[in-house]
Copies of this chain bind each other. A is one copy, B any other.
Amino acid sequence: MKRYLMTPGPTPVAPETQLAMAQPIIHHRAPQFMEILGAVREDLKYLFQTQQEVLIFAATGTGAMEGAVANTLSAGDTALVIDGGKFGERWTELCTVYGVKVDRIPVEWGRAVDPKEVVRRLEANPAIKAVFVQANETSTGVQHPVKELAQVTKTRPGTILVVDAISALGGYELPMDEWGIDVQVAGSQKAMMLPPGLAFAALSPKAWEFVKTSTLPKYYFDFAKQLKSQAKNQTAYTSAVSLILGLKEVLTRIRQDGLEKIYAHNRRLSEAAKAAVKAMGLTLYAKDNPSVVLTAVEAPAGVDGQKVVAELRKQGIWIAGGQAQAKGKIFRIAHMGYIDTVDLIGTIAGLEGVLKALGYRVKLGVGVTAAQEILTKEAGA
């Protein structure tokens, strides 16, 4: 059965990338590999929209999140964590493990943080050294207002903004230097169109100053050590060679297409997906800033969200269910990375059929047509 991976990570890998990764292994200290890493380093700066070095780790995104805490803070420091979903919770867990005190802003699932609340907390507690947030909270399909948050932290020399961009980077505008993001963390298996196994982190000059005073223990995710190695076109420890061969292929393609074109494509898919579910009488889970890279939908009354996922999977269409408190209540359709209009139209058609079979009253074709209207209009524009 053909498989359509519409999950918010891992996402599909293009055949060109599979071929690149199937090349014979190169030794990671050889000149041939160093040349590849040199090219990758430049292209990563373009993707991150930064002049700073983008650190590359053989790990998944959580590893780089841990590194962001362990390399910038010390035990006893205070962090402000914006917690509006499952990945927001992870920042609290990480800080707690390292003895960093957490001032937490709980955000209702489906909502985005209010930047004014962040200002209030920072003013109430000048000891806060870092604000942790998700650019895109994958568990709820909501984008937090990173640009506005950066405007707040930019004016405070003692506070950095750490952004989990794992599911956002490459999906929509997140210009690190222009906005003033201090630490931006990413992973390979989302809009970067690679298998899981590479994690990334880029730091502003301000964040690198924080690294100098951080006393938390770190070794595998030692940012300063990795920075030094990358200056020599190496990684501090063994490189994940096959994934980096894939990374080179993907980044070349991203650079050729251009971020503007990729973002426009994603916006178009997102608008179509959202128009489709609304036309089907469904409600978005996101009440604020619905995500460009995935569409989280409330399961209609009487329908189990997990059942929708399971039934679609029988047809080869893989979407995601809800996590933790949203389990069973929602389902999530991702449209990031190597996903096109055919994938999306087919998924919507499948969803209509499954919901109808599960007892939800929906006229076949209503979602598909709504999506087509967006996709046709935009393609011709």
Contact = CB atoms under 8 A, between A and B. Distances in A.
Interface of A: 3, 5, 7, 9-13, 18-19, 21-22, 24-28, 30, 58-63, 66, 70, 93-94, 97-99, 187, 189, 195-197, 216-221, 237-243, 313, 318, 320
A27 B7 contact: yes
Given A219-B94, A238-B187, A10 B22 contact: no
B30 A11 contact: no
Given A62-B237, A93-B219, A220-B62, A24 B12 contact: yes
A311 to B, nearest CB: 14
B62 A59 contact: no
Nearest to A318: B27
A292 B60 CA distance: 33
Chain A contact residues, majority secondary structure: loop
A10 B216 contact: no
B62 A196 contact: no
Contact of A21 (B70, B219, B242): B242
Query: Which one of A11, A24, A70 has the highest number of Cβ atoms from chain B below 10 Å of its Cβ?
Result: A24
A241 B25 contact: no
A196 B239 contact: yes
Contacts of A241: 10, 189, 195-196
Contacts of A63: 58-59, 63, 220, 237
Given A66-B220, A217-B216, A313-B30, A60 B97 contact: no
Contacts of A97: 217-219
A189 B238 contact: yes
A67 B21 CA distance: 28
A243 B59 contact: no
A60 to B, nearest CB: 4
17 contacts: A3-B26, A5-B24, A5-B25, A7-B27, A10-B26, A10-B28, A11-B25, A12-B24, A28-B196, A58-B58, A58-B60, A59-B63, A63-B63, A66-B219, A70-B217, A197-B240, A216-B217
Contacts of A10: 25-28, 238, 241
Nearest to A7: B27
A18 B28 CA distance: 18
The 5 residue pairs across chains A and B that have the minimum distance between CB atoms? A195-B242, A197-B240, A60-B238, A18-B22, A62-B237
A24 B99 CA distance: 41
A119 B187 CA distance: 46
Contact of A9 (B195, B218, B221, B238): B238
Contact of A195 (B7, B216, B217, B240): B240
A22 B22 contact: yes
A238 B60 CA distance: 6
Contacts of A313: 30
Given A27-B320, A62-B219, 15 more contacts: A3-B24, A5-B27, A21-B21, A28-B196, A58-B63, A60-B238, A62-B237, A62-B238, A66-B219, A70-B217, A94-B219, A97-B218, A98-B217, A195-B241, A196-B241
